[in-house]
Amino acid sequence: MFMSLTRAQAREEFLADESAYCDRFGLAEDQTTAVLRRDWQAMLDLGGSIFYVYKLAMMDGLSMQYLGGVFTGMTEADFKAAMLAGGRTDV
């Protein structure tokens, strides 16, 4: 489903009725819930690839650094700063 969001028409259809769009692709209820709630971690836990999940994040105007912060428990600004400083050192 996420890969389809590379097409403008698909993005319009998704935004018009996100739940129905998820249904068209046969997403399970927990997958649809994760998409509708923008539960980024759940999307990954349910089998989504960050590269495809990011297509949805871009539609919401979110950066990869924002998602990096979500996945590491950091703010977007802290995540950016950590990357500019050479990455996380507490791992």
Co-location of 26 and 44 in the same domain = yes
Q: Which two tokens stand for residue 71?
A: 């996945």
Domain range for 35? 2-60
Per-residue confidence (pLDDT) for residue 87, from 0 to 100: 77
Measured CA to CA, the distance from residue 63 to residue 54 in angstroms comes to: 8
For residues 14 and 50, state if they share a domain. yes
- Could you tell me if 6 and 47 lie in one domain? yes
**Helix, strand or coil, per DSSP, at residue 25:** coil
Question: Within this chain, do residues 67 and 56 fall inside the same structural domain, yes or no?
Answer: no
The predicted model scores a pTM of 0.87
What is the reported pLDDT for 88?
60
pLDDT at position 89, please?
A: 58
**Site of tokens 């105007």:** 61
- Mark the ranges of the chain whose per-residue pLDDT is less than 50: none
Give the CATH number, domain containing residue 49. Answer: 1.10.700.10
Please tell me the predicted confidence (pLDDT) of residue 86.
Answer: 87
